[in-house]
């Protein structure tokens, strides 16, 4: 989703309401971290101190401010098409977000993500990004070894978490980071947005399985025989 800048200004509004003045670019550079780490990092940098109660209040203020801006948020170009293409080709995929399930629901609907898709949210893991928990949990839900999985993200925190998880990280410019920042954080390749990634899927090692073969294997699996790992996309 194209939601980074709305999150940035929502955090800015929340901090202002609490009397904390922070440059907007500093907030931008932290979005995508877990909310707790985010506040700790920002406030330490600016030598503000907040107690846990105040931190919770800031997170609520952010949620309220974001809800006011959420009507502006759109899927990124190619996001729905990329997911539909992977599904059609038998490549298993999941959604992993540092947001809470409640705030993720409208996003999932906008992306055309159905109820069968594994979705891992902040509620289900101990630590959010840049810890690897979200991506490890997502690979677990897919039944795919994490070191054969690809993590697509548009913040340096996504890519750092992907490295800690031992997955292959692929960066998108849609988060407003430069290509170099994403590469230094570990991106194997950087694309503009999901549409650009879809045009270059072969570069990241996504081997599109023969859809007929995938169908046969799925039927075989359902009928009790063991399916081959048809959809996993080992980056070789």
Residue 107 sits in the site that holds a copy of itself (CB under 8 A): no
Q: Is the peptide bond before 109 cis (omega within 30 degrees of 0)?
A: no
From the list 140, 145, 176, 205, which residue makes contact with a copy of itself (rule: CB under 8 A)? 176
Minimum gap (Å) between residue 206 Cβ and a copy of itself: 23
Q: Could you check whether the bond before residue 130 is cis, i.e. omega within 30 degrees of 0?
A: yes
Residue from 16, 109, 147, 228 binding a copy of itself (CB under 8 A): 16
Q: What share of the chain is helix, strand, coil (3-state, %, to 5)?
A: 55, 10, 40
- What lies within 8 Å, CB to CB, of 182 at 6+ separation is 154, 156, 159, 171, 173, 190
| Cα 148 from Cα 106, distance rounded (Å) | 30
Contact 33, 41 (CB under 8 A): yes
Residue from 77, 140, 145, 235 that binds a copy of itself (CB under 8 A)? 77
Least separation in angstroms between residue 103's CB and a copy of itself is 18
| 180 makes contact with a copy of itself (CB under 8 A) | yes
In whole angstroms, what is the distance from residue 204 CA to residue 124 CA? 28
Cα Rg for the chain, rounded, in angstroms?
19
Measured at the CA of 37, the angle between CA 166 and CA 127, to 5 degrees, comes to: 45
Distance CA 208, CA 104 (A): 28
Q: Out of 14, 15, 28, 137, which residue is the one contacting a copy of itself (CB under 8 A)?
A: 28
Exactly one of 99, 169, 171, 175 binds a copy of itself (CB under 8 A); that residue is: 175
Q: Is 30 in the site for a copy of itself (CB under 8 A)?
A: no
74 contacts a copy of itself (rule: CB under 8 A): yes
Q: Is 110 in the site for a copy of itself (CB under 8 A)?
A: no
User: Is position 17 an interface residue for a copy of itself (rule: CB under 8 A)?
Assistant: no
Q: Does 24 bind a copy of itself (CB under 8 A)?
A: yes
Task: Confirm or reject binding of residue 57 to a copy of itself (CB under 8 A).
Answer: no
Q: Any contact of residue 13 with a copy of itself (CB under 8 A)? A: yes
CA separation for the pair 77, 194 (Å, rounded): 6
Structure-token pair, residue 185 = 């954080």
Query: How many residues sit in the footprint of a copy of itself (CB under 8 A)?
Result: 27
Decide whether 176 or 205 has the Cβ nearer to a copy of itself: 176
* Residue placing its CB nearer to a copy of itself in the complex, 74 or 219: 74
Exposed, middle or buried, 218 (CB in 10 Å: 0-12/13-18/19+)?
A: middle
Question: Can residue 147 be called a binding residue for a copy of itself (CB under 8 A)?
Answer: no
Q: What residues line the site for a copy of itself (CB under 8 A)?
A: 2, 4-6, 8-9, 12-13, 16, 21, 23-25, 28, 72, 74, 76-77, 173-178, 180-181, 193
């Amino acid at each position: 989703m194209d939601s980074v800048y709305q999150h940035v200004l929502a955090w800015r509004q929340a901090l202002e309401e609490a009397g904390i003045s922070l440059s907007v670019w500093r907030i931008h550079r932290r979005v995508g971290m877990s909310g707790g780490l985010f506040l700790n990092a920002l406030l330490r940098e600016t030598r503000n101190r907040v107690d846990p109660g105040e931190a919770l209040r800031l997170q609520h203020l952010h949620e309220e401010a974001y809800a006011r801006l959420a009507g502006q948020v759109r899927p990124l170009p190619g996001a729905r098409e990329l997911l539909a293409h992977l599904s059609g080709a038998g490549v298993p995929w999941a959604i992993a977000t540092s947001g809470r399930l409640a705030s993720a629901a409208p996003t999932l609907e906008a992306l055309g993500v159905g109820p069968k898709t594994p979705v891992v949210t902040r509620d289900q893991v101990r630590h959010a990004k840049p810890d690897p928990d979200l991506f490890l949990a997502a690979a677990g839900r897919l039944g795919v070894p994490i070191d054969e999985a690809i993590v697509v993200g548009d913040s340096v925190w996504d890519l750092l978490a992907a490295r800690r998880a031992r997955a292959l990280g692929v960066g998108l410019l849609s988060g407003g980071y430069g290509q170099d920042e994403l590469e230094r954080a570990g991106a194997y390749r950087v694309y503009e947005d999901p549409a650009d990634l879809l045009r270059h899927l072969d570069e990241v090692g996504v081997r599109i399985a023969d859809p007929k073969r995938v169908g046969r294997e799925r039927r075989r699996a359902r009928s009790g025989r063991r399916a081959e790992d048809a959809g996993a996309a080992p980056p070789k």
